[in-house]
């Protein structure tokens, strides 16, 4: 049984979707949800789903040591699902090709520092893009620059608000992210 650890900073709807997907699987399960935000809604979700959770401070994530010790003991695969802090170089080095992020746009467009959540969808609408989508990629030392594993696009209509774009992107995330994770898990 492979242990998937999900990191999330906010709502955690992807974390919940992934946890549910693997709930009855025999090859992998979400064993922990980690957050940097003691007030994150994802902690309520973890409780409801009866999944262990753990809070590390922003400083602990930056320093790496405590988080790394924990992950080395507990994780086979690390999933960033709406996690907004940078992963320390020590952690990246310790888990080559075992840290996966989802980004709510078609990278390399709309990536990099400050480009997360609604900021991305606001920019997509402002720039009158005709499509957007999701990118699932390996994590390296730079924001949003690791090798791309999977992308899927969706049309943006001229009348779409950023909220509508966000919900279209979330639909793609819910449909594809767990399946992509499963494929990776099966090859571990």
Give catalytic residue positions.
103
| Shortest distance, position 26 Cβ to ligand GAR, whole Å | 25
Cis (ω within 30 of 0) for the bond into 14? no
* Selected binder of ligand GAR within 11, 97, 151, 153 (CB under 6 A): 11
φ and ψ at 172, to 5 degrees?
Answer: -65, -45
> Which residue from 131, 137, 141 is spatially nearest to 169, judged by alpha carbons?
131
Residue nearest to ligand GAR (CB): 82
The pairing of strands 28-35 and 2-7 is: parallel
Q: Nearest 5°: phi and psi at 35? A: -145, 160
Interaction residues for ligand GAR, span 45-104 (CB under 6 A): 81-82, 102-104
How many of the other CB atoms lie within 10 Å of CB of 61?
20
60 neighbors 88 (Cβ within 8 angstroms): no
Among 4, 5, 8, 136, binds ligand GAR (CB under 6 A): 8
Which residue shows structure tokens 């010790």?
Answer: 69
Among 29, 94, 117, 153, binds ligand GAR (CB under 6 A): 117
Nearer residue to ligand GAR within complex by CB, 34 or 169: 169
153 near ligand GAR (CB under 6 A): no
Furthest CA-CA distance within the chain: 49
DSSP state of 112: S
Stretch that binds ligand GAR, among 3-11, 24-32, 90-98, 152-160 (CB under 6 A): 3-11
Smallest gap from Cβ 182 to ligand GAR, in A, equals: 18
Question: Per CB under 6 A, does 12 bind ligand GAR?
Answer: yes
Using CB under 6 A, list all residues that contact ligand GAR.
Answer: 8, 10-14, 81-82, 102-104, 116-117, 120, 169-170, 173
């Amino acid at each position: 049984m492979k242990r998937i650890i999900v990191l999330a900073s906010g709502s955690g709807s992807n974390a919940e979707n992934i946890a549910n997907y693997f709930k009855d699987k025999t090859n992998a399960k979400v064993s922990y949800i980690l957050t940097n935000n003691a007030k994150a809604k994802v902690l309520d979700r973890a409780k409801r789903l009866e999944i262990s959770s753990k809070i590390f401070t922003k400083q602990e994530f930056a320093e790496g040591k405590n988080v790394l010790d924990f992950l080395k003991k507990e994780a086979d695969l690390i999933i960033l699902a709406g996690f907004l802090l940078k992963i320390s170089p020590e952690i990246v080095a310790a888990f080559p090709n075992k840290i996966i992020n989802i980004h709510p746009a078609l990278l390399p467009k709309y990536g990099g520092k400050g480009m997360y959540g609604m900021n991305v969808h606001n920019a997509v609408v402002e720039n009158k893009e005709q499509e957007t989508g999701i990118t699932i990629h390996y994590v390296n030392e730079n924001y949003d620059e690791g090798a791309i594993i999977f992308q899927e696009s969706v049309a943006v209509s001229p009348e779409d608000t950023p909220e509508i774009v966000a919900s279209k992107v979330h639909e793609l995330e819910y449909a594809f992210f767990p399946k992509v994770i499963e494929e990776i898990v099966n090859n571990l």
